[in-house]
Structure 1
């Protein structure tokens, strides 16, 4: 286990600062992790921030790349290992290592605006009236026909998803962009580590069932940008089919959809 304890995030001078833990699962993410960590290190927030990366059976130089950026940026970083492959296992391991009052879920191939954590802190207060906050994920560098369609269609898709959330009370939470109060996470006993995908939705549904749907807050301005590598690799229709069918299979049948193979090409 590695821990760097510097923290130079741009914070206000308060005597009682909340601690926010950013949990990042990583499998062979040496090409992406640097930009992700830089965006976290450069947050403008009143909170203290720590980043936790779960190295999930990595065979590349993800750890070295992460340490290098943490030292350059003065980021409080912890690295932990999870030898058994699986996104749910990796998220669970990272969340378990978190010390924060709020645990934020991030992905290694995503970058975050400077007000991201501050918006989360404002939503998930210490009284924990809001137990979970989430927002949209927009994709970057989408190529060809897929890019054209997604550029024009994604705002509409996001609106439809949001309305569906409200009607069904089953939030469509995105793994790179949600945060949960530590106590709520503990109460639902974390992620279902047997799932190969949609572990983020499953967790949110259980929080909503425990705390009530009003305890979940969707912030349409809480936007992050994530790699479109899976859409670029598989194409629009195959990727959309997988996510749509998988969501409803998990939602209606409570069955695991399985997963795509890992895509680790340049984003």
Structure 2
């Protein structure tokens, strides 16, 4: 069920991305437009925008809300892709490959890599502001949340602490902060933003936000494990975590304990779905997918 859903919704998301990217295609400066498209359309699971469709299906059986999230899912994926472009830069992780292809700064050059990240982040907010099927009040709330989760109090803050923590041992609370902000905040956005668009304001809103936080930590722990156990053919990149002496769950707890902690977070997430969302099959399968994915 989940694999079929992921495949179907990935096509929807990528059609949306290509449609929005068409606003820049063949416009001056053409090379920047091409580099943007290269950064966005070079693969990826599209799990964050797909999560938005899952939320729509959870709260709106008639699927009439799909039009409300079309631009939001593009905006969030733009921000996610910008973060990957900057994360790969020589000043950050210095990666040559992403999803099995040359990173943006290797395909073009470092300056273009910086500018592609800049433009994707900036345009994301314009995409939401221009959304045709969102109320103005919802637009303001969504832009505010996107800014919070992508910026100082979210992903950038987590990335900063991650960079500052290289080549030194940190406390577990610092590692949790890095994971919760660097990775977790955009996953929370994927679940919270469509609920804002749908005007969901009940207790289930808070339960879903709690679920997203557990999923975000589990996602990063799994990434840390894959950086050790995965291979280039499966994950599409070579990890530099050891060379950069990055703090990860395996580096602090060891591989076996990291796997145990991963299952602990996933079990807490499963419990929320079972207890508060009638054991929704799609979300239960998604939770298991986060623990079993190979890339």
With structure 2 as the length reference, what TM-score do the two structures score? 0.29
Q: Decide which structure has the larger Cα Rg and report it.
A: 2
Higher relative contact order (CA 8 A, sep 6+): 1
Which of the pair is proportionally richer in strand? 1
TM-score, length basis structure 1: 0.32
